[in-house]
Structure 1
Amino acid sequence: MKKKINNFSKKITEEINLPAAHAMLYATGLKESDFKKAQIGIISNWYEGNPCNMHLNKLGKIVKNSIKKKKNLIGFQINTIGVSDGITMGTLGMRYSLPSRELIADSIETVIDSHHYDGVIAIPGCDKNIPGVMMALLRLNRPSIIVYGGSISSGFYNGKKLDIVSSFEALGKKNLCQISEKEYKNIIKKSCPGPGACGGMYTANTMASALEAMGMMLPYSSSSPSVSNNKKIECKVIPNYIQKLLENNIKPKDIVTKNSIENGIKLAMCLGGSTNLILHFLAIAKYADIPFYLKDFQKISNQIPLIGNLKPSGIFLMEDIHIHIGGIPVIIKYLLNEGILYGDCLTVTGKTLSENMKNIPNINFNQKIIYPLNNPIKKNAHIRILYGNISPKGSIAKITGKEGILFRGKAIVFDSEEQANLAILNKKIRPGSVIVIRYVGPIGGPGMPEMLKPTSYIMGSGLGKKIALITDGRFSGGSHGFVVGHITPEAQSGGLIAFIKNGDIITIDGKNNTITLEVKKEEIKKRKKGWIPPLLKIKRGYLYKYMKTVSSASEGCMTDQF
């Protein structure tokens, strides 16, 4: 006898005292024979406004058409929101990027739980889509699977591959007269050739790779390009897997364990992934009821070498992993064989990670994209958790070693990103400076906007090895250079970063994991005396609610603290 798999939807479809609900379901096209089928919410972050998400509705339709062929499943397409980091970057709109993660999670929880859907197939694209979806699936904890929208193809101009960061860095090069106005325009026009998430190991690809290693995606989902046949095939076969998950009652909390979380983080760190990984995995672990803290990230970082020669710090893109390596599973298999990853973790296939990798080919090191563990780019990972008087509750550094591991310089302080951007573009930053951008944290920002513009301008201006940047904001996965973010406590909450003055000496030590303001305690006490927090920048609406409820960066910037 087959197991019933409509355990949630039957509370509506098989309840005789809900005639209006049944009438509405008939209006959607359901037949009486459909009422005993399991109902699947096909969630996508589709919207036409950016390349990361513009194709997700098409992928959702492929999934739905495939579900129609299943005798015991019904699919309903549902959209939730997205915010384009690339479009909003450097504008006031960027304040909504990280908060959108919570809205995504809230909206998915709301529609799935209220309508009693039995399972979820989620199709995220841009950066905050993926953790937002994952947080919702853990809250709901019913059979679920994620299909990544896929990475964008590279642009091409003047003999060089391009991606989104190329357009940011081009402005710095134009200001230095290294490229002409015509070249500048051509780089912008050709950086993003079509649909898909930003192509380097930026936040979207970082999180997708991590969630595949964690077991919440089918093998190859994170590295199959957005417009590839592989992605279409994945969408066609995905109903087979959601049905298996329903039949065996395999839920996200069965898959997301301490070991599987470590698998995701280890893979992301090996590949040189985004610092946003920290914020998102703190929240994911919390919803999975797994104790996981900043110190755990540092422990992993100390153990894991950097082997991915991928943008922003390297030169290759996710499409190169697909074309020249054979996909993320090839790297996962290598790390499994080398004892880096745990192979006994359950995945959405119903099999363990090791079982999924059984027929995956071994990696060929006759390429420059992925290095062997015994000859890594860096002996330990690029993400460092820094403590010190500037960040007694922690901060996140992205130190690949290319810019060195120690920086000591004079502070030049800005109370907004806009001020810093103008100073960099107007060539007012001298080598040896530590740029301080403050009042851009979760509360002060609000929303902890990313500082991709200033870091890209720094790199484009040729200052990458000559200056550092620290902030209580965060960084895009596309940021690189000697940068430290997530400084906690933030300036708006009275953290020491609020009291730094121009000319103060700051030391960033990537070896001993410290960040220090070299000012005597007595002087710091004087500066703090009589300090009054600036007025909040927002007085109503969603961002106001976010400011009033959000936790610190060191706690994952969650709005439902528990």
Structure 2
Amino acid sequence: MGTEFWNGAEAAHRRVMMKAAGYSDKDIRKKPHIGVPNSYMAGSPGSAHLRQIAEAVKEGIWAAGGVPVEFGIPATCGNIANGAEELKYEQVGRDIVAMSVEFVTRVHNFDGLAMIASCDNIIAGCYLAAMRLDIPSMIVTGGSMQPGQYCGKTVVEADLDAARFSGADEEALMDMEDNVCPSFGACPSMGTANTMQMLGEVLNLVLPGTSTIPASDNAKLRKAREAGMYAVEMAKAGRKPSELITKEVLLNSIMFDMAVAGSTNAVLHILSYGYELGIELTLEDFEKYAKEIPCINAVVPSGPYTVVDFHYAGGVMNVMKMLESKLFTDVPGMYGTSWAEMLAKVKPQENKVIHSLERPLSQEPGLKILRGNLSPNGAIVRPTAVYEEVKYMKGKAKVFEGDRAAFEAIQAGEIVPGDIIVIRYEGCKGAPGMKELMLSIDALIGLGLHKSVGLISDARFSGFNFGAIIGHVSPEAYDGGNIALVENGDEIVIDIPGGEVSMLVSDEELERRREKWVCPPLKEEKGCLNIYAKMCRPAEEGGAMQPWGLDARFKR
């Protein structure tokens, strides 16, 4: 612990600041200081309840003999920016959150961290911060939202799209709005928020069995106090992320993500964690386990159930038990024991939500890497959310230089069954920020075209989405990838079972087009988006602002 930082004459100016903030001399000098970064934000159900959780965490820290120091970190709700150009800030937000935690922690010299987050790139950024700082760290999740009830049916936020595009009148839409999100917590499907909450347990950053406790269940507060207490124990023991997150632990997280059909954004995050820790991890690792691990999780959009159902069906630990024969179990767990020892205490519960490997929900993996001349460095699809009718497609390209242009064409009836939409210059550098394509994809789903139209992009897409949607195409258009050379009318093949996405254009013709291609100027001339575009790694390396050289990357 860093008690020397707070003792001696040199530390007088530090102590006086803490005393002026209300802390006692004994607490300041003798006890471990635990930072409590809180992503509370009043404008989102995923974060508006985090003050109460933070209080429980701090109570636990005090009870265990630590000193909690709470501070705020940025938080947004991706749904607020749904359809807006500002959605491209969300991916950049992961790095901003990580830097915010890094900044405050380094200045205040915390002995450990107990971070509080729920949603999307915020919780992903907290994990990244833990690995960068490499001090004893944990994350307390905000849990999932209860599903809504509307007209006798269970509904989630994504169900609004069908109503929006079906011509529902304003009164009916308002009625649905009032019922679709009835509690605090992350939207209860396998979107990025819940995917990343779950992965925290696998990564030894979230207390086992706690990540998916619904926000409305008071067990969330009880476990938050336990987490605060354990944060102090971790700080005293000096148990750091670099000791708890080995390459095998990261590979377990890939297997878990395949099994639960997690958000495709998890690929970016897991890759960035490997890079941060100096562990060699590539898309080839995802390809390997896509051939071995089928989807066993029946949560929306792969099945009819919600994350609340998932939690009460056994949650993350039940999935890990189902995967036990595939996992690396002789690896550290959060409590200082191995995963083998932890899983020995878990009784498998095969049920309608969480299936077994022997009787999976689908024979396909939850994620798959596609390659071909359109994406030689890899692209990503979620096969369990793709209808049989469009798992293999050959169609004519309709090319758009952004999400809104494609959306307007869909709305105008210019997209017909059999078309393959190509949306480019929305990648890490092109957007910049790797935008989620909520406008065009929501329109396809809402108009029922997701069963007959394909979409290929260098952008991301939401964990809520389903259909023949292929994202993360790399190299991206801004870097001169072949997606920049596609022309209207080019024939494109999407072969999800075969793992291919290609355009049927000769190499000679592509070279001719490349000679004429001119890289466009950056869309953002200043601010964090400009900095991100200049500092980020490509999507197949995680897309984070990690500009340090490749020689420094793989240390273990």
TM-score (norm 2): 0.95
Aligned mates of 2:387, 2:290 — CA distance in 1: 17
Between 1:393-402 and 1:415-424, the stretch displaced more is 393-402
Match of 2:494 in 1: 508
For residues 445 and 56 of structure 1, the distance between their equivalents in structure 2, rounded to whole angstroms, comes to 31
Q: Aligned-pair distance for 1:101?
A: 0.4
Q: 1:190 matched to which residue of 2?
A: 179
Which residue matches 1:402? 387
Which residue does 2:107 correspond to in 1?
Answer: 114
Which runs of 5 or more structure 1 residues have no equivalent in the other structure? Answer: 1-6
**Alpha-carbon distance between aligned partners in 2 of 1:454 and 1:100, rounded to the nearest angstrom:** 22
Q: Write the letter of the residue equivalent to 2:207.
A: L
Matched, 1:380 2:364: yes
Give the superposition deviation at 1:57.
1.9
- Compute the displacement of 1:180 (Å): 4.3
Residues in 1 aligned to 2:105 and 2:509: alpha-carbon distance in whole angstroms: 55
Q: Where do 5+ consecutive residues of structure 2 fail to align?
A: 549-556
Of 195-204 and 417-426, the range deviating more from structure 2: 417-426
Distance 2:381 2:227 in 1: 38
CA-to-partner distance for each residue in 1:198-242, whole Å, 9 max, x for gaps? 110111111121221222211222220112111111111113322
Q: Which residue of 2 aligns with 1:220?
A: 209
Matched, 1:65 2:59: yes
Q: State the match for 1:296 in structure 2.
A: 285
Query: 2:343 and 2:204 mapped to 1: Cα distance?
Result: 12
Runs ≥4 in structure 1, deviation > 6 angstroms? none
SS for the counterpart of 1:43 is strand
Could you tell me which residue of structure 1 aligns to residue 93 of structure 2?
A: 100
Return the offset for 1:422. Answer: 1.6
Counterpart for residue 248 of structure 1: 237
| 2:516 partner amino acid | G
Distance 1:435 1:26 in 2: 61
Give the match's secondary structure for 2:101.
helix
Cα distance change of structure 1 residues 239 and 222 upon mapping to structure 2, 3 Å threshold = closer
Structure 2 partner of 1:362: 348
- 1:418 aligns with 404
Change (3 A) 1:423 1:92: same
Rounded to whole Å, the distance in 2 between the matches of 1:74 and 1:353 is 30
Q: Is the 8 Å Cα contact of residues 52 and 198 (structure 1) preserved in structure 2?
A: yes
Give the Cα–Cα distance (whole angstroms) in 1 for the partners of residues 315 and 508 of structure 2. 56
Tell me the residue number matched to 1:157. 150
- Match of residue 428, structure 2, among 420, 442, 450: 442
1:125 corresponds to: 118
Name the residue aligned to 2:39: 45
Structure 1 residue 340, shift from structure 2 partner: 2.2
Show the 5 A alignment for 1:149-548.
Answer: 149-174=142-167, 179-323=168-312, 325-336=313-324, 339-365=325-351, 367=352, 369-400=353-384, 402-403=387-388, 404-548=390-534
Q: Which digits, 9 at most, give the CA deviation of each residue in 1:294-332, with x for residues without a partner?
A: 111110111101111111232111001123x13322222
The one-character-per-residue Cα deviations of 1:430-471 (angstroms, maximum 9, x if unpaired) are 000001111111111110111133222212211222011000
- The alpha-carbon deviation at position 418 of structure 1 amounts to 0.6
Letter in 1 for 2:372: G
Match of 1:3 in 2: none
Partners of 1:409 and 1:484 in 2: how far apart?
14
- Residue 56 in structure 1 maps to residue 50 in structure 2: yes
Q: Secondary structure at the match of 1:193?
A: coil
Paired amino acid for 2:209: Y
Q: Equivalents in 2 of 1:387, 1:548: separation in Å?
A: 26
AA aligned opposite 2:250? I
Q: 1:172, 1:425 within 8 Å by CA — same for their partners in 2?
A: no
Give, in whole Å, the separation in 2 of the partners of 1:465 and 1:238: 45
Provide Cα deviations, 1:371-406, integer angstroms capped at 9, x if missing partner.
232222322313121111111211112222533531
Name whichever of 508-517 and 109-118 sits farther off. Answer: 508-517
Shift of 1:86: 1.0
Distance 1:194 1:376 in 2: 31
The 8 Å contact of residues 215 and 345 in structure 1, kept in 2 or not, is answered as no
Greater shift in the superposed pair: 469-478 or 391-400? 391-400
- What CA distance in whole angstroms lies between the structure 1 residues aligned with 2:338 and 2:215? 26
- Residues 241-250 or 124-133, more deviating: 241-250
Checking the alignment, whether the CA contact within 8 Å between 1:210 and 1:263 is kept in structure 2 is: no
**1:262-304 C-alpha deviation (Å, 9 max, x unpaired):** 2222112111111111100000111122100011111011110
Name the CA distance, whole Å, in 2 between partners of 1:11 and 1:492.
Answer: 50
**AA matched with 1:183:** A
Quick one: which amino acid aligns to residue 48 of structure 1? A
Task: Supply the AA of the counterpart residue of 2:416.
Answer: R
* 1:245 Cα deviation from its structure 2 partner: 1.5
* Counterpart Cα distance in 1 of 2:350 and 2:403: 43
Greater shift in the superposed pair: 340-349 or 102-111: 340-349
1:4 paired residue number: none
Q: Secondary structure at the match of 2:67?
A: strand
Contact 1:382 1:398 in 2 (8 A): yes
Q: Deviations over 1:19-52 (max 9, x none)?
A: 2211111111121211211000011211111111
8 Å CA contact 2:32–2:236 kept in 1: the answer is no
State the shift of 1:119 in Å.
0.3
Q: Using the alignment, how far apart are the partners of 2:191 and 2:322 within structure 1?
A: 22
Distance 1:266 1:173 in 2: 38
TM-score calculated relative to the size of structure 1: 0.94
| Structure 1 Cα separation of the partners of residues 235 and 266 of structure 2 | 29
| Letter paired with 1:409 | G
Provide the C-alpha distance between the structure 2 equivalents of 1:83 and 1:74, rounded to a whole number of angstroms: 28
Shift, 1:417, TM fit: 0.5
Give the letter for the 1:261 counterpart. Answer: L
Instruction: Give the whole-Å Cα distance in 1 for the aligned partners of 2:541 and 2:342.
Output: 33
Q: Secondary structure of 2:466's match?
A: coil
